[in-house]
Amino acid sequence: MTTQPVLVTGATGYVGGRLVPKLLTAGYRVRALGRSVTKLKGRPWSTHPSVELAAGDVLDKESLVKALDDCFAAFYLVHSMIADPKGYTETDRKGARNMAEAAAQAKINRIIYLGGLGGREDKHLSEHLRSRQEVARILQSGPIPATFLRAAMILGAGSASFEILRYLADRLPILLAPRWVDTPVQPIGIRNVITYLQGCLEHDEVLGQTFDIGGPEIVSYRKLFKIYAEEARLPRRWIIPVPFLSPRFSSYWIHLITPIPSSIARPLAEGLRNPVICHDNRIRDIIPQDLYNCRQTIRLALEKIEQERLDTCWMDASANIPQEWIYCGDTHYAGGTILELGYRIRIQAAPEEIWRPIVQLGGETGWYFGQSLWKIKGWSDRILGGTGFRGGRRHPTELRPGDPLDFWRVLEITPPTHLMLVGEMKAPGEALLEFNIRPLPDGTSELEQRSRFLPRGLIGILYWTILIPIHHLLYPNLLKAISRTIGKPILEGPERISRKREGRWQKR
């Protein structure tokens, strides 16, 4: 057990977010790297005495060198498919080069990289899997030994692969599937993946080596659907392979049926054509563990979903980072570029009472008023290739920075007074939705809701102008609905926020 910290890149992602607490429990010091420290602070392990939070980006070599200072090892768990779906190959290439060079400069002991199965000799290897192979080659070409773990389909509550499987099986009793539905695959449970990753810190035999990691059985995707339906207690699902479904068409179908956007679904669907099975099982002798079969893994994942104990999710990864304009808040100073609309009410309630319905917005709870309008917005965004309502939200009553919330993402949260959401919908500009609760001297509270929009060109301005009447309908009625939900009367408002009226209730 080393006393030096271990760097975990991608610490807020699906795998990294599970690896960090595992390492902390095992007694390691962990330096968690993310582009947003605010997002890192939202993780339940962020206050652990053995964790350090570091701001950085693998595309910024200097930030990597700083983060790697005095580290024993680094986990490279970064993939740009979500942040840069169109150019992820070049982005991943640059990130890998930066890591290899920064690790050499910091003189760490080892790099551990989790990538995908698939041989370089396969002429039909998907771009997604080929990019993973290239990242491994770049890391292993440097002077620091890099261990490459090659995994096939990772099964676990919240993984992109599992969510595709779950939503397709749940929603489609009859599935017209491409020919890849009979492709052999060797899935591995996320718990086994995490154990292998930790084990690579503790065994020098893995230094600079490449290993295949998989579960104990080889199945087809058809078989996985059958196992899932049985474990989820669904009627039998009928799968009909058809020869004319291309990966592009499959990705659009996945986009409409599941929360996974087509930009992610397409490279995943292309990879499903490639048989991904383990040909090298040496790691089982080096890092022995009980491997979960597909049925056990699916059962554990469903139990977590039913118990609402989703530790991490594929949606945790996001390209959004705070932009300077978000904190300006002064449309006049910005020359009128930032468009803004807001309403507020004064309500006979404490901030804690008002906070409860606000922190439960979206998902199964909905938006309290005009739910059909919100759904139309979600579906139209989905059809245009946006996120839509995705899977709603991670937890029905808890929010943390970086959490997805329908087609928004939590940028900031300070219970019980402040919630800031940044839009992830398809729009000609950047959108922000903010709620603020202020206690007033007379024992009442002010609830303020603001919408801000940074348009991109004339189309963005027209987009905002068209939506203004809908916003004037939704926002004041949303505040009224929140008041009804907590059973407390509105004393003043709703009134539109204007510069002349700023702060007049606070003087009471």
Q: In the prediction, which pLDDT does 116 show? A: 86
Residue 227 shares a structural domain with residue 291: yes
Q: In the prediction, which pLDDT does 60 show? A: 92
Residue 12 shares a structural domain with residue 122: yes
Which of 226, 99, 237, 211 minimizes the C-alpha distance to 147? Answer: 211
Give the CA dihedral 201, 206, 209, 210, nearest 10 degrees: -80
Q: In the prediction, which pLDDT does 331 show? A: 37
Domain presence at residue 242: yes
Q: In the prediction, which pLDDT does 23 show? A: 96
Q: Report d(CA 219, CA 292) in Å as an integer.
A: 14
Domain presence at residue 508: no
CATH number at residue 388: 3.30.530.20
Residue 297 shares a structural domain with residue 336: no
Residue 395 shares a structural domain with residue 459: yes
- pTM here? 0.74
Residue 233 shares a structural domain with residue 259: yes
Q: In the prediction, which pLDDT does 85 show? A: 57
Q: What is the 3-state secondary structure (H, E, C) of 245-287?
A: CCHHHHHHHHHHHCCCCHHHHHHHHHHCCCCECCCCCCHHHHC
CATH number at residue 82: 3.40.50.720
Supply the range of the domain harboring residue 252: 6-316
Yes or no: say if 208 and 145 are a contact pair by the CB < 8 Å rule. Answer: yes
Q: In the prediction, which pLDDT does 195 show? A: 97
Q: In the prediction, which pLDDT does 390 show? A: 67
Residues 6+ apart with CB under 8 A from 149: 112, 113, 114, 115, 193, 196, 197, 200, 211, 213, 283
How are the residues of the chain apportioned to helix, strand and coil, as percentages rounded to the nearest 5? 40, 20, 40
Residue 264 shares a structural domain with residue 339: no
If you ran DSSP here, which 8-state letter would residue 214 be given? -
278, 294, 316 — which closes off a domain? 316
Residue 251 shares a structural domain with residue 369: no
Count structural domains, the chain. Answer: 2
Residue 452 shares a structural domain with residue 494: yes
Residues 6+ apart with CB under 8 A from 383: 256
pLDDT tens string, the chain, 508 residues long: the values are 678 999 999 998 889 989 999 999 999 999 999 888 888 887 889 899 999 999 999 999 999 999 999 999 999 998 865 555 567 788 899 999 999 999 999 999 999 999 988 765 666 677 778 888 899 999 999 999 999 999 988 998 888 888 888 888 888 888 887 777 888 999 999 999 999 999 999 999 999 999 999 999 999 988 999 999 999 999 988 888 887 666 667 777 777 777 776 666 676 666 667 788 899 999 999 999 999 999 999 999 888 877 656 666 655 555 554 454 454 444 333 344 688 899 999 999 999 999 999 999 998 899 999 988 888 888 888 777 777 776 678 788 888 888 888 888 888 899 999 999 988 888 888 889 999 999 999 999 999 999 988 888 889 889 999 999 999 999 999 999 999 999 999 999 999 986 544 455 444 4
Residue 177 shares a structural domain with residue 131: yes
Domain presence at residue 125: yes
| Bridge partner residues of 449 (DSSP) | 343, 435
Residue 399 shares a structural domain with residue 287: no
Residue 399 shares a structural domain with residue 379: yes
Domain presence at residue 354: yes
Domain presence at residue 101: yes
316, 340, 369 — which closes off a domain? 316
Two tokens, residue 315 = 């949606």
Residue 387 shares a structural domain with residue 461: yes
Q: Report d(CA 32, CA 7) in Å as an integer.
A: 6
Q: In the prediction, which pLDDT does 429 show? A: 87
Q: In the prediction, which pLDDT does 412 show? A: 87
Kindly report the number of other CB atoms within 10 A of residue 487's CB atom: 8
| Residues 195-220: b if buried by 16+ CB within 10 A, e if exposed | bbbbbbbeeeebeebbbbbbbeebbb
316, 336, 355 — which closes off a domain? 316
